[in-house]
A = this chain, B = another copy of it.
Amino acid sequence: MTKIVDPRIRKTKRAIHDAFTSLLVEKDLNKITIIEIAERADINRKTFYNHYSGIHQLVDEVENELIETFNEALSKSDLSRAIKDPFYLYQLLDSILSNELNLRSHFKKFGFNSSLFPKILDALKISLMSVLSQKLELDKTTLKIAIEYWAAGQLAVLNLWYKDGSLESMDHIITTVGIISSSGLDGLLKTHS
């Protein structure tokens, strides 16, 4: 099943990826030119266009590779526990994002504004769907809606946590989001009354 790829292509693409990611550390994406990438990768500029229609396709491919590592980590985790245990969930998500350094810095930097965000969300949803469709007694449509709502909410709070340094302790955040996800707004209001 593993597709055999021309070693010349593999070598070229790797050089482009390395050049690009190293440039990304030094400057903003919109300041990076294809000429620079080609020079650093030590390839002809035309060769770049043989593989990518432009820089955005390269970004997309790099992001998809990051998502791969995200998926692998998710598959090794206990997602059904993550649903009920917000502390486990956030420790899990943060460790995944932390392990793959580029992924975390990318996410912390851009959050919702990153094209990476919908990819992370999709990956999380797909994993949840495959795990939960067996465990929970819900029809598929209901489950889909529940996952959509839950996953988007959780990632939004994670994003808030990363971005807003002025927030209170992590414990409070996780406890709060745990109440909301399991018991909704009613549960939250009941707790605080």
> A residues near B, CB below 8 A?
30, 54, 56, 83, 111-113, 115, 117-118, 121, 136-139, 141-142, 144-146, 148-157, 160, 164, 167-168, 172-173, 176-177, 179-189, 192-193
Do A153 and B155 touch across chains, with their CB atoms under 8 A apart? no
9 contacts between A and B (CB under 8 A): A30-B54, A113-B118, A146-B185, A148-B156, A148-B160, A149-B153, A149-B157, A181-B184, A184-B186
What separation, in Å, do the CA atoms of A176 and B147 have in the docked complex? 11
Q: How far is the CB of A8 from chain B (nearest CB, A)?
A: 29
Given contacts A137-B192, A182-B184, 10 further A-B contacts (CB under 8 A): A138-B192, A139-B192, A142-B176, A146-B176, A149-B153, A149-B154, A150-B185, A152-B157, A181-B184, A184-B187
Looking at chain A's contact residues, the main secondary structure is helix
Residue among A136, A142, A168, A186 having the largest count of chain B Cβ atoms under 10 Å: A142
What separation, in Å, do the CA atoms of A183 and B185 have in the docked complex? 6
Chain B residues lying within 8 Å of A189, measured Cβ to Cβ, are: 136-138
Do A188 and B144 touch across chains, with their CB atoms under 8 A apart? no
Chain B residues lying within 8 Å of A176, measured Cβ to Cβ, are: 141-142, 145-146
Do A184 and B180 touch across chains, with their CB atoms under 8 A apart? yes
